[in-house]
A = this chain, B = another copy of it.
Amino acid sequence: MTDEARPSKASRASTGHSSGRATIAMVSQLAGVSPSTISRVLNGTAAVSELKTQAINAAIAKLGYVPNPVARGLAGGRTMSVGVVTQAVDSPFYGAALHGIEVELDPAGYRPLFISGNWNADAEANCIDMLRSRHVDGIIVLTGRLSDRALKAHAKDVPVVVTGRTLNAPGLYSLNFDNREGARLATHNLIQLGHRNIGFIAGDRLHPDANERHEGYRAGLKEAGIPYDPTLVVHGEFHEISGMIAVDRLLQSKKVITAIFAANDQMAFGAALALRRRSLRVPDDISLVGFDDVPGAQYASPPLSTIHQPAYELGRLAAASMLQLLAGNEPTAVVPAPRFIARESTRPAPG
């Protein structure tokens, strides 16, 4: 039923393969108009008489003509593709963002070209070079480590949208999630539940997000008048094992701890497992809060309370902004504020 369902396309001659075969020259002949005029109606480059426009559109429809992006790219026009520098195609977080980008770009006819930078500034620079050699029409950088300067430089040649930082420049738009506020919120909620001895599993120091979240933790403590105790803070590297190790360290310190806030969900999962190994129950013995709200958080045992980071949405916004930039408009997207999602890994502090 896959193929039979498309008799119109199947009936077309040649290879039996549909799109992309017809060229502008063929349309030109069928419509009795010069190729340039066709290009004009296609790109809205100049006004074309109503009559010819119709003839052209008819011919295009009849031939099932679709412009060849490759030729377009060579000719200096648009490739209809936007490069996306991500950090890891796997990773629940980036995966969702990429999905959002794809969904938003698609109806506009653009295709994303994903490429992983692997948290490495040099690699990212290469990625961008590669994307530019491929003539992408725009570049979206998801939380890269590239310098602001480099980004601005690229923005002079091609529209750039970057997430994870705030940066203004012509042809450049940035979308920044408020990590600090998110972490403050998490801490605040724990405090509201009566917790005062809150362990913090921080992220990789080299990671900007990690530092912002750390700040947010301190801010949350401060506004409640709780002194910041460095011995309650352990640094991890954003993956599960870090969370497990962190819990061991936290518990070794013999300090009283009734809650733990991990700088991302993955470390929170690791922490949950480590606690389980020590027969400490979440949330009965210790409350636990994560950050990101990855897909798995909702169905973890117990479901993890966390700060929701709108990854999918962020992807869509980044793509939408790119589309606006491409259209010569000023992007207007605003990143949603962090939200605390109360699930079952938190409960009021004892006493």
Binding site for B on A (CB under 8 A): 1-3, 5-6, 12, 14-20, 66, 68-71, 73-74, 79, 81, 88-92, 95-96, 98-99, 102, 111-116, 121-122, 125-126, 129-130, 132-135, 145-147, 149-150, 153-154, 156-157, 240, 266, 269-270, 272-273, 276, 282, 295-296, 298-303, 312
Shortest CB–CB separation between residue A152 and chain B, in angstroms?
Answer: 9
Q: What are 5 A-B contacts defined by CB distance under 8 Å?
A: A5-B122, A20-B129, A89-B102, A276-B302, A300-B300
A69 to chain B, nearest CB (A): 6
Query: Considering the chains assembled together, what is the distance between the CA atoms of A136 and B165 in angstroms?
Result: 34
Asked, given contacts A70-B73, A133-B69, whether A153 binds B99 with beta carbons under 8 Å apart, the answer is: no
Interfacial chain B residues near A129, Cβ < 8 Å: 17-20
Closest to A153 in B: B5
A9 to chain B, nearest CB (A): 9
A114 surroundings in chain B (CB, below 8 A): 89, 112, 114
- Tell whether, in the assembled complex, residue B273 and residue A122 are in contact, meaning their CB atoms are under 8 Å apart: no
Instruction: Say which residue of B90, B122, B301, B302 sits within 8 Å of A96 (CB atoms).
Output: B90
Question: Shortest CB–CB separation between residue A145 and chain B, in angstroms?
Answer: 8
Contacts beyond the supplied A70-B73, A71-B74: 6 A-B pairs with Cβ under 8 Å: A1-B121, A16-B153, A19-B132, A99-B116, A102-B116, A273-B302
